[in-house]
Amino acid sequence: MKEILGFADDRMLNVILLSIRPEYARLIYDGRKRFEYRKVVPRYVGTGDVVLLYETAPVQKITGYFIPLCVYRNIEIMRLWEISWQVAGITLKNYQSYFKGKSRVNAFEIGEFREFREPANLEEVGIIHPPQNFCYVKRI
């Protein structure tokens, strides 16, 4: 964990902590999910930044990270599906259910990713409560 934060500091990258369900984190780490869909994406995150993955219950740990290849913002819902469906890690039905009522949506295209051998607690990055969606990690 510390080497990732040091890497980000050296390059002045943003570090984001993203809450994610354990089953989706597993698909990312297995290489079967290359897009992480979001109703809201952080304003200050882009290609090459660091996205830490906080797995929600029952894991409740920071288990790894990914580096976005691209951040899709405010893109038409079916256009994003056309771009991503082969490596989405979810079905069209789940995709449409998640974005119900939305015509424009967001996503991270996942580049490099890594699962930590030793998951980290939130306190290790200076955070007390898990984010509902995401939060920025301050340099520690």
Once rounded to an integer, what is the mean pLDDT over residues 72-82?
98
Read off the pLDDT of residues 114-135 as tens digits, 9 standing for 90 and up: 999 999 999 999 999 999 999 9
Please state which of the ranges 5-14, 78-87, 93-102 shows the lowest mean pLDDT. Answer: 5-14
Q: What is the average pLDDT value for the chain, to the nearest integer?
A: 92
pTM here is 0.91
Domain assignment present for 140: no
Q: How confident is the model at residue 1 (pLDDT cuts 50, 70, 90)?
A: low
3-state secondary structure 103-117: CEEEEEEEEEEEEEE
What pLDDT, on the 0 to 100 scale, is given for residue 138?
Answer: 75
CATH of the domain at 114: 2.30.130.30
Domain range enclosing 30? 2-135
Domain assignment present for 26: yes
